[in-house]
Structure 1
Amino acid sequence: MATINTALCSYGMSGHLFHAPFIEAHPDFNLYAVFERTKNLAEKKYPNIKTFRALDDILKDETIDLVVVNTPNITHYDYTKKALEAGKHVIVEKPFTVTTKEAEELIAIAEKQNLKLSVYHNRRWDSDFKTVKKVVQQGVLGDIVEAEFHYDRFDPELSYKNHKETPTEGVGSLYDLGSHLIDQALQLFGMPNGVFATLDTFRKDSKVGDYFDVKLYYDSHFVTLKSSYFVREPLPAYSIHGTKGSFIKSKADIQETELQKEIKPNTANWGIEPESERGLLHTVENNTSKKELVVTEQGDYMAYYNGVAEAIKNNKSLPVTAEEATQVITIIEAAFLSNTEKKVITL
């Protein structure tokens, strides 16, 4: 396979910012097609791209190798299933599916068809999280006793995107923002033993969840994942506390901002945070306290597409497996159940 002919299932924010620029810039991919029902937005930026008006027409095109399902959450299962059954490799935007049962069915189809199925948990390659992961893995904090992750914003107004505000399955901040935090927690600590969650809605006239406080219980520590649309003064995005000290880090990855400015990936200084956003590492050793600012790792969403290319062309491991993404959905389902029953859900 010389290049991987790739089709996007939509060209909204996800397609425009998080997929098309990386596919177009990567030598192993060809940005071949896009599904737009009425508009031709992608053609304005990528004149050689083919525009299809129906998903079925994309799936019938035998020259397409990979389909990116970056449509509303409720469509992920159906679109991915159709693409796999049509013999296409698939990248699915997070959240993978609405339910664990749907996720497991898609995994089975991909295995039967001998196809690659991955989920776009790109926030693993945020500069801030890469730095947190490095500090934790270095062991300088000792045994972890507590961690708290935030994905907050101040945005009291409802989204102009109707599908995000319509109370259907898979909608709400726990699926949209929570998917990122849960995946990052699982990357650091693995699956927890139990889940306890408080979910709520605070925006005026909102019909979908816009607040969550999810606790993941492990044998030796717990992790708190929080998000609110009413945080005017941002808290640290990551607070990790261990027996030897603490690490505090802001949410400061600049890749999305760079993409909004039409800066192309792989350009000079891509994904490099300002020095002012360095995390604070405060440790104690031999009764001596030491504070230091930690140099931030470079953000790199292209690493995800590097991994997908290696998986498709050389049968290497996927950068995010469908099984890993299914664990995220398992946590989300447990959180909803916990909120309803007001108790810890054992996994």
Structure 2
Amino acid sequence: MKDQPSLRVALVGYGYAGKTFHAPLIRSVPGLELATVVSRDPGKVHADIPDVTVVDDARAAFADAAIDVVVIASPNDTHEPLARAAMEAGKHVVVDKPFALDVVQARALAEVAARERRVLSVFQNRRWDSDFLGVRKLMEDGSIGEVTHFESHIDRFRPQVRARWREQQGPGSGVWYDLGPHLIDQALLLFGVPGRVLASLAVQRDHGEVADWAHVVLEYGRRRVILQASMLVAGGSPRFTVHGTRGSVVKPLADRQEAQLLAGMSPGAPGWGDDADDLLLHDGDGQVTRMPSRPGDQRRYYMALRDAVRGQGDNPVSPQQAISVMAVLEAAIISAAEGRAVAPSLSDAERAAWNGGLVDTRA
């Protein structure tokens, strides 16, 4: 790797996602160089990264022959056109979640990637969170037996509606588009594509414009997977609660990497990804065993992306996986609107992108 030149990266967007996650993670990974940021506020960018080139038009970054990879961290409704334009300009592309606004757009982007022979990936950084890694390991090693109930929460307490595009009327806004892709991706990674999706979405905050509460049930035979996101949960909820035929596991608190990034910690610094919150393993006799949490490391997404672009590894999140996440997200929206369970509309090949999941799905 030392003999290979670094891949030069252009980051489109320097809002919350670009500033908090993408820029520091990219800059921490050997073999990647954050060369250009697309932003209308160069002062904001240069306050953090003095030596980076800042341009105000994404097309200028796409036209730069020195750029190898483009990362799209702009508002959700721009993901599809920007990703398409970048690939057609010869760039490999990372799209922040959600991949697109719907399944039609997602499939179209996958077709462009295949035609242009470009790596197209989705930033599903929470596959490398401490909470998910710990729960996944206990499930895989059989500690709780056959999983019958899996519950995943991302709950916050933000009673005031903020003047941000994510909380205002517009394509791709609302809590389900914001947090749903993370919740869905983790569930599909474990269990594969569900048979049906049953969902309820609501606006609960005063002056709310878009859904700020989501409760979604994924059906896998007798197993039920519950995905929950809310903006009115003071004190929070357990991040994961998983029940099985031999016991249960609870992960009370969420991964700390986002908080560490907000506090200015550099990815990879001492203590990076550490999680002092134990997993609680309950057996059938009422005994509780505290299991230390495994460290998280979201840098691993960009390490895998680097290797995929160099032809030295697999795409960490393939377009086919992104399509099925969008199909489940879309099925939930239809279910909430029509009050019925909806089967995700996917081909056999798209379903096969998950190989049935990592966990025994016989439940």
* TM-score bracket relative to the smaller structure: over 0.9
1:340 aligns with 2:337: yes
Kept in 2: contact 1:125–1:303 (CA 8 A): yes
TM-score by length of 2: 0.91
Q: What does residue 326 of structure 1 align with?
A: 323
Q: What does residue 96 of structure 1 align with?
A: 99
Identity %: 36
Shift of 1:323: 1.4
Q: What does residue 169 of structure 2 align with?
A: 167
Aligned partner of residue 177 in structure 1, secondary structure = helix
Aligned partner of residue 346 in structure 1, secondary structure = coil
Q: What does residue 10 of structure 2 align with?
A: 7
Q: What does residue 203 of structure 1 align with?
A: 205
Quick one: distance in 1 between partners of 2:107 and 2:43? 35
Listed one character per residue, the Cα deviations across residues 261-292 of structure 1 (whole Å, up to 9, x for unaligned) are 11111111211012xx20110123xxx55420
Quick one: distance in 2 between partners of 1:205 and 1:249? 33
Quick one: distance in 1 between partners of 2:342 and 2:253? 29
Shift of 1:314: 2.7
Q: What does residue 301 of structure 1 align with?
A: 298
Structure 1 residues not aligned, in runs of 5+ = none
Structure 2 residues not aligned, in runs of 5+ = 345-363
Q: What does residue 134 of structure 2 align with?
A: 131
Kept in 2: contact 1:77–1:97 (CA 8 A): yes
Shift of 1:330: 0.5
Quick one: distance in 2 between partners of 1:207 and 1:80? 28
Listed one character per residue, the Cα deviations across residues 72-97 of structure 1 (whole Å, up to 9, x for unaligned) are 11110111011011110000000111
Q: Which amino acid aligns with 2:235?
A: E
Moved more, 249-258 or 264-273: 249-258
Quick one: distance in 2 between partners of 1:205 and 1:140? 45
Q: What does residue 310 of structure 2 align with?
A: 313
CA RMSD of superposed structures (Å): 1.2
Q: Aligned runs of 1:179-258 on 2, under 5 Å?
A: 179-258=181-260
Aligned partner of residue 71 in structure 1, secondary structure = coil
Aligned partner of residue 250 in structure 2, secondary structure = strand
Aligned partner of residue 63 in structure 1, secondary structure = coil
Quick one: distance in 2 between partners of 1:235 and 1:156? 16
Shift of 1:346: 2.2
Quick one: distance in 1 between partners of 2:42 and 2:160? 27
Quick one: distance in 2 between partners of 1:51 and 1:169? 27
Kept in 2: contact 1:40–1:51 (CA 8 A): no
Q: Which amino acid aligns with 2:252?
A: S
Quick one: distance in 1 between partners of 2:143 and 2:59? 53
Listed one character per residue, the Cα deviations across residues 160-202 of structure 1 (whole Å, up to 9, x for unaligned) are 32x1232122111001011111111111111100000011101
Quick one: distance in 1 between partners of 2:317 and 2:138? 21
Quick one: distance in 2 between partners of 1:149 and 1:38? 37
Quick one: distance in 1 between partners of 2:232 and 2:28? 37
1:108 aligns with 2:105: no
Kept in 1: contact 2:28–2:299 (CA 8 A): no
TM-score by length of 1: 0.95
Aligned length: 341
Quick one: distance in 1 between partners of 2:167 and 2:239? 25
Q: What does residue 359 of structure 2 align with?
A: none
Q: Which amino acid aligns with 1:203?
A: R
Quick one: distance in 1 between partners of 2:228 and 2:47? 39
Kept in 2: contact 1:21–1:265 (CA 8 A): yes
Q: What does residue 125 of structure 2 align with?
A: 122
